[in-house]
């Protein structure tokens, strides 16, 4: 059993099952997605990552939709194909309309452009922003 294959619930240890169960309960889903089935090769990382995400993505000062759109913008910036697909789906589930998706993409694209213009022109930080 190498990390190159998913670990299904039926083949999982009790430790892994406990995490899978909590993911399914928290997200109200039938099955966990591939990310978790691959992380299951390292139960400590599976547990730590899930508990961190559960804490971070819970509604707080920001709602779930805003958090998922930020997650998507970062994943697009890094070019992570898996994360773009999974967090795009999560954002839509949380209420992202196609018009919202288009605006997330537009802002993400523009930020990536002006980040480089600021680098290239070596713009010093304004005293007002310090």
Count, in order, helices (H) and strands (E) of the chain: 6, 0
Shortest Å, Cβ 120 to a copy of itself: 4
Are the beta carbons of 29 and 57 closer than 8 angstroms? no
Give me Rg for the CA atoms of the chain: 18
Task: Pick the closer one to a copy of itself by CB: 21 or 77.
Answer: 77
Q: What would the x/- binding string for a copy of itself be over residues 63 to 92, using CB under 8 A?
A: ---xx-xxxxxxxxxxxxxxxxxxxxx---
Does residue 21 touch a copy of itself according to CB under 8 A? no
Considering only residues 29-48, where is the footprint of a copy of itself by CB under 8 A? 33-35, 38-39, 41-42, 44-45, 48
Task: Pick the closer one to a copy of itself by CB: 18 or 83.
Answer: 83
């Amino acid at each position: 059993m190498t990390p190159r294959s998913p670990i299904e619930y039926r083949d999982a240890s009790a430790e892994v099952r406990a995490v899978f169960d909590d993911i399914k309960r928290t997200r109200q889903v039938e099955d966990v997605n591939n990310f978790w089935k691959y992380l299951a090769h390292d139960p400590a990382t599976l547990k730590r990552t899930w508990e961190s995400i559960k804490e971070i993505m819970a509604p707080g000062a920001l709602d779930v939709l805003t958090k998922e759109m930020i997650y998507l913008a970062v994943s697009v910036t890094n070019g992570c194909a898996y994360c773009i697909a999974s967090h795009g789906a999560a954002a839509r589930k949380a209420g992202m309309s196609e018009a919202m998706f288009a605006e997330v993409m537009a802002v993400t694209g523009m930020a990536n452009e002006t980040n480089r213009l600021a680098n290239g022109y070596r713009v010093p930080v304004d005293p007002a922003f310090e």
